[in-house]
Amino acid sequence: MPLATLSDVLQPALGEGRAVAGVVCLGWEDARAYTAAAEEVGVPVILQAGPGCRAHTPLPVLGAMFRSLAADADVPVVAHLDHGYEEAEARAAIDAGFTSVMFDGSKLPLAENIARTAAIAEMAHAAGVSCEGEIGFVGYAEGAESRGTDPEEAARFARETGVDAMAISVGNVHLQTDAGTGLDEGRIAAIEAVTDVPLVIHGGSGVPHAQRARLARGTAICKFNIGTELRQVFGTALRASLAEHPDRFDRVEILRAVEPPIRAACAKVLRSLG
């Protein structure tokens, strides 16, 4: 089916008490496996191209890849630019056929973040594309510390930017390799009380699975970004394949072995989000 926008999949999720996974893709094999997992479970999926992926593969190639997967899928597939930092990058993604763009102005002063996010949201909407923004700052497991989202700032951000989804910082951390102590549910509730936009959790791999499932069903969190835990499965499967077959040298044959494990891991994530 044709590519869906972020709003196409998040608005129904918001009304039905579930969340959609934004799975971080690094290449053809994982994107194909994640799409197959979504078809297996019968739910939408958001294929995300982050900065690392874009540094390796040009946006037009990624756009064509995601469009090809969506065309053959029987569930909605969103092609999403994750962590774009410039308007030109968002425009390039739209030109490449992406149906959703994220502008990350979380390190900017509030007024500048609002102004730049609003401009990109306007540009995206004019092209029939969704826009995600971020308020507060989600840090990194081995890097910059998080700055929690202030509910009053979140209300202003949602109102003045017109974004279709809003990423928040409530104890989540990027690139966390194991489940952390969990998200601040009090802060989530305070943000929900003053906004009506679907909420997004970046660094979803670091959220305990039981809490992730509960929040997907009972809050306005409609999108969890999942990358690290699936990349860990990819790495483990790749090492196992090479150890079992040290004589293999054909990359297609080598990488074919990693798709079933990451498809199964992705299907488990998708089921947990409802």
Q: Is the dihedral of CA 223, 224, 225, 226 positive or negative?
A: negative
Contact by Cβ (8 Å): 76, 36: no
The gap from C-alpha 95 to its chain's centroid, in whole angstroms, comes to 20
Residues in the chain, overall count:
274
What is the Cα–Cα distance from 52 to 21, expressed in whole angstroms? 19
pLDDT at 113: 98
Q: Residue 100: exposed, middle, or buried by beta-carbon count in 10 A (0-12, 13-18, 19+)?
A: buried
Catalytic site residue from 30, 72, 74, 82: 82
Domains of the chain: 6-272 (3.20.20.70)
User: Is 82 annotated in the active site?
Assistant: yes
Q: 0.75 exceeded by the pTM?
A: yes
Q: Residue 86: exposed, middle, or buried by beta-carbon count in 10 A (0-12, 13-18, 19+)?
A: exposed
Residue 99's closest CA among 2, 213, 229, 5? 5
Mean pLDDT for each 10-residue chunk of the chain (274 residues)? 94 95 96 98 97 94 97 97 96 98 96 98 98 89 76 97 96 72 90 97 89 95 96 94 91 91 97 91
